[in-house]
Amino acid sequence: MIFVTHMETTPNPNALKYVLNETILEDGICQFSAAEEATDDLARACFAVEGVVSIFYRDNYITITKNDSADWFEIEMTIKDEINNRVEAIEFKAQAVPEINFGEKQTLVFEIDDILDETIRPGLAMDGGGVDIIDLSDEMVLSVRYQGACGSCPSSTTGTLMAIENILQEQFDPRITVQIANHTY
């Protein structure tokens, strides 16, 4: 039986990480940013809780993000109950990620991806989120998209973004700059 063992706060005050006793996704992620995107009963039930704006499945946790007006005290146990009542019946599938063609920069993007896997992504996953590479310009501007709790976290636009940039400047290329992508794929 799969169930929520505990809940963890994240650096994003509007996101709560519900940790499960079993892995639900071996690889990949599944994220819903609106109720209309929900493809399973669990996501639909969570979106039915007033204030829920995003749902993120990964490894052995589910991150729920709420809007500013919702109060965790009022909704966190309702969400926990929905997860516990529905998680067992869901066949979790990672979302297909469209292959982005980085052309002649593909090797560089693989190198950056490896650095992010080693240095940044484990910490973001602990906080209920993640990061994807969206683009690398000829001017060495890396565009990223945050996932889960990181998507609306105040520190993702400042401290985390600067940390990514500093690590990549140190381990990859001192000319690289990092920005949040203004589009999704």
> 157 pLDDT exceeds 50?
yes
> 181 pLDDT exceeds 80?
yes
**pLDDT for res 27:** 86
Q: What rounded mean pLDDT belongs to the chain?
A: 91
Residues 8 and 75 in one domain: yes
- 81 within a domain of the structure (yes/no): yes
Written as one string, the DSSP assignment of the chain is ---EEEEEE-SSTTEEEEEESS-S-SSSEEEESSGGG--SHHHHHHHTSTTEEEEEEETTEEEEEE-TTS-HHHHHHHHHHHHHHHGGG----PPPPPPP--GGGHHHHHHHHHHHHHHTHHHHHHTTEEEEEEEE-TT-EEEEEEEEGGGG-GGGGTHHHHHHHHHHHHHT-TT-EEEE-SS--
Which tens digit of pLDDT belongs to each residue from 91-147?
998 887 777 888 899 999 999 999 999 999 998 988 888 898 999 999 999 999 888
Residues 53 and 12 in one domain: yes
8 falls in which pLDDT band (50, 70, 90)?
very high
Residues 41 and 70 in one domain: yes
Structural domain for 50, as ranges: 4-89
* Number of domains comprising the chain: 2
